Amino acid sequence: MTTFLLKKDSSSSGTFYVPSAQFKRWVEHVSFPNHVCFGSRRSFCTVSPHPENKEEYLLSEDLWKVLGIPEELQVHMFERGNSLHIGPLIGIFTAGFTKDTIRPIGERSMYFARLLSASAKCGAFGFVFGAHQINWKTGIIKGLMYNKRGWHRVTVPMPDVVYDRLPNRSSEAIEQVSTTMQKLQSQYFTPWFNPGFFDKWTMFQKLSGVTSVKKYLPETVLAPKTSVLSRMLNDYEQVFIKPANGSLGLGIQQILKPANEKFYYCRFRTEKENRLRRYSSLSRLIKMQYPNGISGLIVQQGIDLHRINQRPMDYRVHTNKNKDGKWEVSAIAAKIAGAGSLTTHMASSGTVKTISELASEYGVSKQVERSLMEAALQLSRAIDLKVPGFIGEIGFDLGITKEGSVFLFEANSKPGRGIFAHSRLKAEEARTRLLPMEYAIYLAKTAIEKQLVTPV
C-alpha cells in the first residue's frame, strides 16, 4: 500500500489536496469523495489536486483541528464510498501508567516507544492509552505518543484499530478495562487484536481437536487422580505440574521416577534457588509439595529434550500476521536451562542462543529450524481457527526430542521479550515490533472497506 506525507495547509479551508494521479482517477469516474475521516472523526471536505503537483497529501488547517490529527506523518489513505480515511489511527491499549514524564509506562516505556516508532515507519499514527484516558461523552482519548522529542500527550478520536498489550491477567480483570474493549467494539466497530491471555488447559483442549497439530501435543491432564499421575510417571518417567493460567515459568514443578529406582524426586524453584527433594512414595510427595491438592493444575508429559552440555534446551518461536493478514515466523531462539533448573527461563539462569550459534558451536542441524517453523505455523493457524477474535501474534515454547519430534509446551498471546536481550537478535526484535503494526493497518483497512456506516 502506497503512503504519502500528510502536511498541514494554513492557506485554505475545508480542502483535502491529493496527488494528481489520485484526483485524475476521480475525474475519470466522475465521482468525488466529500468526507475526510481520521479515526472516529469525520468532516465534509472538498478534494482537489495538489497545488504544487507534489506526491503528498495537504489538509486545510481547519480540517486538521476538527479531525484531531496530532502531527505530520507519512500515512495511508483508504476509500469507502464517498469518504477518505487517513491514517490509520492505531491505539495500543495497556495499563500501568505512571506520572513520570520520561518513563510514563514504567519499565515498559522503552518497548512502547520503539513500538510507536515502528507504527510511524509503517505509515500509521500510533498512540498508547489506558481505560482511564477515554472520555466516552466527547469521543476522545488523551493518550501518549512518542517521537524524536520524546513522550508527549495527545488528544485523539477513537482509533481505527486497537492492539492489546495489557501486562497481566490482573489488569485484564479490572471492570473498566473489559468495558472499554466491549464499548469500542460494539459502539465504534473497532477491530481489537490479541485480546486476553491463553489458558494452558483450554488451549490444549482446543488444539487436541485439530488433526494437523495433534502430533505436537504432549499428554496433558487437568488435576489428575494419583492413579493417573502414577501411570504417567510409569509411561514417561517424568512429568511437569504447572498452573493452568500461569506464565514466566512460575509455579512449575517436575516429578521424576526413574524406572530403575524406587524413589520419587521433585525438582522446583524457590525465590532464588533450585531445589531437589526425594520421597519414598508418590502420595507423600503430593501431600508435602501440594498440601492444598492439585486442583487448578495441569500435569504434562515430560519430554526427553535435546541437550547441550547435559542441560535441556527448548525454543521460543514468535509468529506474527503480516501486512496481508498471513502468518509468518518472526523470531526463533534456543533457551538452554541453567544448572539444576527445571525450566529454561532466563530468571532461572537460562541462556539464549540463536539458531546459527547452535549450528556453529554445537553442530545442531538446520533441520531443527525447519521443523520448528513448520510446527509454529501449523499451530498458529490452528489457534486462529479455534480462538475467537483477532489473533495477530503468538509466542510458542517448543521442545525437540533427540529423535527430532517437536512438542508444544505453551502458547502465549502476549509473548515475553526476554530473548531479544541477545545481541544477535536485533533484526528479529525489530521485526516483531513492525509486524503487529503492519497487521493493524491491514485490519483497519479491512474494517473500513467493510463498514456500512462510519461512526461520528
Rounded to an integer, the average pLDDT of 270-279 is 86
274 lies in the same domain as 318:
no
Rounded to an integer, the average pLDDT of 139-156 is 96
3's torsion region: left (phi>0), alpha (psi -120 to 50) or beta?
beta
Check if the beta carbon of residue 267 is closer than 8 Å to that of residue 275. Answer: yes
Check if the beta carbon of residue 6 is closer than 8 Å to that of residue 73. Answer: yes
208 lies in the same domain as 349:
yes
Rounded to an integer, the average pLDDT of 321-329 is 98
Q: pLDDT at residue 328 above 60?
A: yes
Residue 248 lies in a domain: yes
Residue 326 lies in a domain: yes
Residue 454 lies in a domain: no
Q: Which of 378, 399, 438 is nearest to 119 (CA)?
A: 438
Higher-confidence residue of 211 and 346: namely 211
Query: Which pLDDT band holds residue 366 (cuts at 50, 70, 90)?
Result: confident
Predicted pLDDT of residue 340: 55
Share of the chain above pLDDT 90, in %: 84
User: What are 384-427's pLDDT values in tens digits?
Assistant: 999 999 999 999 999 999 889 999 999 999 999 999 999 999 99
To the nearest whole number, what is the mean pLDDT of the chain?
92
Residue 455 lies in a domain: no
Number of domains in the chain: 4
Predicted pLDDT of residue 309: 85
CATH value at residue 157: 3.40.50
Residue 95 lies in a domain: yes
CATH value at residue 63: 2.40.40
Check if the beta carbon of residue 330 is closer than 8 Å to that of residue 256. Answer: no
311 lies in the same domain as 432:
yes
Question: What whole-number distance in Å separates Cα of residue 9 and Cα of residue 23?
Answer: 18
Domain housing 427: 200-217+305-442
Question: What whole-number distance in Å separates Cα of residue 424 and Cα of residue 395?
Answer: 19
Predicted pLDDT of residue 362: 87
183 lies in the same domain as 38:
no
| Other CB atoms within 10 Å distance of the CB of residue 46 | 16
276 lies in the same domain as 313:
no
> pTM above the 0.75 mark?
yes
Predicted pLDDT of residue 419: 93
Residue 456 lies in a domain: no
Residue 421 lies in a domain: yes
Q: pLDDT at residue 270 above 90?
A: no
Predicted pLDDT of residue 135: 97
Which residue's entry shows cell 506520572? Answer: 99
Q: pLDDT at residue 225 above 60?
A: yes
Query: Which pLDDT band holds residue 251 (cuts at 50, 70, 90)?
Result: confident
Which of 34, 66, 85 is the endpoint of a domain?
85
Q: pLDDT at residue 257 above 90?
A: yes
205 lies in the same domain as 324:
yes
Q: What is the DSSP secondary-structure string of 434-456?
A: HHHHHHHHHHHHHHHHH-SS---
Residue 449 lies in a domain: no
334 lies in the same domain as 408:
yes
61 lies in the same domain as 114:
no
Q: pLDDT at residue 245 above 80?
A: no
320 lies in the same domain as 399:
yes
- Give the β-pairing of 327-336 and 220-222: unpaired
Q: pLDDT at residue 189 above 50?
A: yes
Predicted pLDDT of residue 456: 35
Rounded to an integer, the average pLDDT of 146-161 is 96
CATH value at residue 314: 3.30.470.20
Predicted pLDDT of residue 453: 40
325 lies in the same domain as 423:
yes
Question: What whole-number distance in Å separates Cα of residue 144 and Cα of residue 104?
Answer: 9
Predicted pLDDT of residue 454: 39
Predicted pLDDT of residue 274: 83
Which of 57, 85, 113 is the endpoint of a domain?
85
Query: Which pLDDT band holds residue 45 (cuts at 50, 70, 90)?
Result: very high
Predicted pLDDT of residue 342: 56
94 lies in the same domain as 243:
no
Predicted pLDDT of residue 442: 97
Question: Which of 39-43, 252-256, 293-297 is predicted least confidently?
Answer: 293-297
Rounded to an integer, the average pLDDT of 440-455 is 79
Which of 301, 331, 352 is the endpoint of a domain?
301
Q: pLDDT at residue 43 above 80?
A: yes
169 lies in the same domain as 248:
no
Q: pLDDT at residue 100 above 90?
A: yes
Predicted pLDDT of residue 295: 87
Rounded to an integer, the average pLDDT of 336-363 is 75
Question: What whole-number distance in Å separates Cα of residue 381 and Cα of residue 387?
Answer: 10
